[in-house]
A and B are shown apart, each in its own frame.
Chain A
């Protein structure tokens, strides 16, 4: 039987990036994607940070269909019926290619077309059903009636990774290790977006929300501006949802979020053009599966490479970087003519030298730290309440502001031993 160099399961950002790097070295590679086209099964919030990956992507993203360059960052703490926000912008963000919003159905499809031009076979509309084995080594995949033999199988099949599971590399999937994201894409004219979000043409805003959006559960809300749409959504821990009493219907969280005054004004007159959902790995470093085996490498979400810091999710840079590093490892294995786990171990060592495993390691305690009522309920309620009191001018005389503030902060519990300790332990995160 003839073997190609690599077969990649999944035409998401991770699989496509891997294929791109392999094609640069003239390796024979096939990407199998179950959707109608790459990007048709993929959901993201919408922001890709470029700095971490700029040294390794080469020309891969030249000409990419970015939506808008993020030059304005907004954070909002949502109380039950009030909110406070920070609005940040800076020249540094305008002058550099720091981060961009994207829509995956355009972005992944564009990258796959670039690959096809480079001679890579991208086969859509095929679901890979199984791995092919020879003894304890994986030697290819089966998709329906078709069998594809390869020296290495790259499992880039996303967070549910049936390939990693079949290869015996995956931990059992537990609710505490995953969040669900729900997203609505809402069409608005380019001018309206520029005006409402106070940005120029092709410039965009990333707005994150914490607090009442998840009713105090682990997670948050996001709004990213695209060219002529906005991506509005929420992310919430699955375990938190299963434990919430009384129970909340997940889809209703999204409606409550949209119904808020703060959101309503931003999307007024817009029309819904897509409703999507997807789970997100949120166990960070501790949730990572075994990353390779004889004849197999696992990349991107399939390996658990995502960082959910409550309000913001970073997964795409990890997906791209791990795909590229997987490609480098396959190239090394080819030179050594050995595709056993002994040689493929270089994948993990390389990941450890880069931001992929370094960042995940640095943030390994963050979800445990954030996983309490403080960040998703107490602070989001206390701060807006405090500001409300300061802003409110009633019938009584106002008194001295310093003393007033101090008393109110004491009364709200913001200065309690528990909160101050929390602040202190934050330095370890």
Chain B
């Protein structure tokens, strides 16, 4: 089963605004390895080849915090979704 299919099994309540913001200048100027593209357990980061920008599909975020820590360049501004929003685990 692909990871995006796994995510469809989870329960999410999606807020309008993303709780993850990326500073694209930092990504472009400082980051060669682009950890976020492979480190996210939800595989939510992708590179938009057209404008060379990293995008994150915040709606599927498992709120693990891995990207926040792995991005040592500090390009990721990460807060918890507002109360009630985000992933809601039913087993935990």
Contacts and interface: CB of A to CB of B under 8 A. Distances in A.
Interface of A: 34-36, 39-44, 103-108, 124-127, 143-144, 159-160, 162, 173-175, 178, 180-182, 184-185, 229, 231, 238, 241-242, 247-251, 254, 272-279
A36 B84 contact: yes
Given A175-B70, A242-B33, A274-B9, A127 B64 contact: no
A247 B35 CA distance: 9
Given A238-B70, A275-B6, A180 B88 contact: no
B23 to A, nearest CB: 18
Contact of B88 (A36, A143, A182): A36
A44 B92 contact: yes
B84 A125 contact: yes
Contacts of A35: 88
Interface in B1-18: 1, 3, 6-7, 9-10, 13
A279 B80 contact: no
A238 B39 contact: yes
Given A182-B41, A241-B39, A277 B62 contact: yes
Contact of B38 (A160, A180, A248): A248
Nearest to A123: B83
Main SS class of interface, B: loop
Interface size class of B (residues with CB under 8 A): 35 or more
Main SS class of interface, A: mixed
Contacts of A272: 1, 6, 9
A143 B83 CA distance: 9
A247, A248, A276 pick with most chain B CB within 10 angstroms: A276
B91 to A, nearest CB: 4
A151 to B, nearest CB: 24
A101 to B, nearest CB: 12
B81, B83, B92 pick with most chain A CB within 10 angstroms: B92
A164 to B, nearest CB: 14
Contact of B92 (A104, A127, A178): A104
Contact of A238 (B10, B69, B88): B69
A184 B88 CA distance: 15
B89 A251 contact: no
A160 B65 contact: yes
B89 A126 contact: no
Given A175-B69, A238-B69, A242-B33, A180 B92 contact: no
A227 to B, nearest CB: 11
Contacts of B63: 41, 278
29 contacts: A34-B81, A40-B90, A40-B92, A43-B89, A43-B92, A44-B92, A105-B89, A106-B91, A106-B92, A125-B84, A127-B80, A160-B65, A173-B68, A173-B69, A178-B65, A180-B39, A231-B91, A238-B69, A238-B70, A241-B35, A241-B39, A242-B72, A249-B43, A251-B3, A274-B9, A274-B90, A275-B7, A276-B92, A277-B62
Contacts of A104: 89, 91-92
A289 B2 CA distance: 38
